[in-house]
C-alpha cells in the first residue's frame, strides 16, 4: 500500500495499456457506478461507500489484467482503528490492508482466472454505523469509500 496522488497514478496507468477505458471513477454521475453490485451505498460526490461487511463490483471483460489499483479510504471516526479490507477476485484473495486515510491499494491479479468478466468481492468486517460511532442520524454501516479503480 502506497500513499500517492491517484491522478498521477491514473495518468501513468494510461501509458501503454489501452488508455482511459481502464479507469473507472465512482460517485454521483460517474461511469464506474454501473459496475457496482450488492453492498454499495448511493454514490456521493466523488466516491461511494461500502454499506455493511460485503460488497461486489463486476468488471467487464478487459483482456489481460495483472493488477488493479484502488483509490480508497476507510470510515474511521475518533476512537476507532483503521478499517480492514480484504479483496477477492473470482474467489482468489488479491489484497488485504488496514485503511484509514485516502490511499492507493494495489491488488495482484496474476493468479486470478479471468476467462471473461471478473467479480471483485470486498470484505470489510468492521464496518460501523455513524449513528453508533458518532451519535449522528445515519444508520448505514460504512466501511470504505471508493473513488476510483485502475486496471493495469
Q: How many domains does the chain have?
A: 1
* Residue 75 maps to a domain: yes
Least-confidence region, from 15-19, 74-78, 133-137, 146-150: 15-19
pLDDT score for 63: 75
pLDDT score for 12: 39
* Residue 35 maps to a domain: yes
Query: Which pTM value belongs to this model?
Result: 0.87
* Residue 130 maps to a domain: yes
* Residue 1 maps to a domain: no
* Residue 22 maps to a domain: yes
Three-state SS at 96? strand
Q: What percent of the chain has pLDDT over 90?
A: 79
The CATH number of the domain holding residue 109 is 2.60.120.260
Sheet holding 54-59: strands in order across? 54-59, 118-123, 83-89, 92-99
* Residue 47 maps to a domain: yes
pLDDT score for 114: 67
Residues spanned by the domain of 74: 6-151
* Residue 101 maps to a domain: yes
Q: How distant, in Å, are the alpha carbons of 51, 83, 135 from that of 139?
A: 10, 18, 10
Given a contact cutoff of 8 angstroms between Cβ atoms, the answer to whether 49 and 36 are in contact is: no
Per-residue pLDDT, averaged over 76-100, amounts to 97
Report residue 83 as a C-alpha cell. 478499517
Per the prediction, the chain carries an average pLDDT of: 88
By C-alpha distance, which of 141, 34, 41, 43 is closest to 83? 141
Least-confidence region, from 19-23, 33-37, 103-107, 120-124: 19-23
Given a contact cutoff of 8 angstroms between Cβ atoms, the answer to whether 23 and 47 are in contact is: no
pLDDT score for 65: 86
Amino acid at each position: 500500500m502506497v500513499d500517492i496522488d491517484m491522478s498521477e497514478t491514473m495518468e501513468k496507468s494510461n501509458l501503454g495499456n489501452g488508455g482511459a477505458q481502464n479507469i473507472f471513477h465512482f460517485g454521483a454521475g460517474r461511469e464506474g457506478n454501473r459496475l457496482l453490485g450488492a453492498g454499495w451505498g448511493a454514490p456521493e460526490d466523488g466516491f461511494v461507500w461500502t454499506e455493511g461487511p460485503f460488497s461486489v463490483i463486476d468488471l467487464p471483460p478487459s483482456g489481460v489484467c495483472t493488477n488493479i489499483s484502488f483509490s480508497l479510504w476507510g470510515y474511521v471516526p475518533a476512537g476507532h482503528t483503521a478499517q480492514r479490507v480484504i479483496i477477492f477476485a473470482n474467489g482468489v484473495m488479491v489484497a488485504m490492508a488496514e485503511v484509514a486515510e485516502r490511499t492507493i491499494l494495489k491488488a495482484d491479479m496474476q493468479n486470478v482466472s479471468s476467462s471473461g468478466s471478473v467479480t471483485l468481492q470486498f470484505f470489510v468486517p468492521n464496518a460501523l454505523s455513524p449513528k453508533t460511532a458518532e451519535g449522528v442520524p445515519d444508520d448505514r454501516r460504512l466501511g470504505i469509500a471508493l473513488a476510483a479503480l485502475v486496471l493495469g
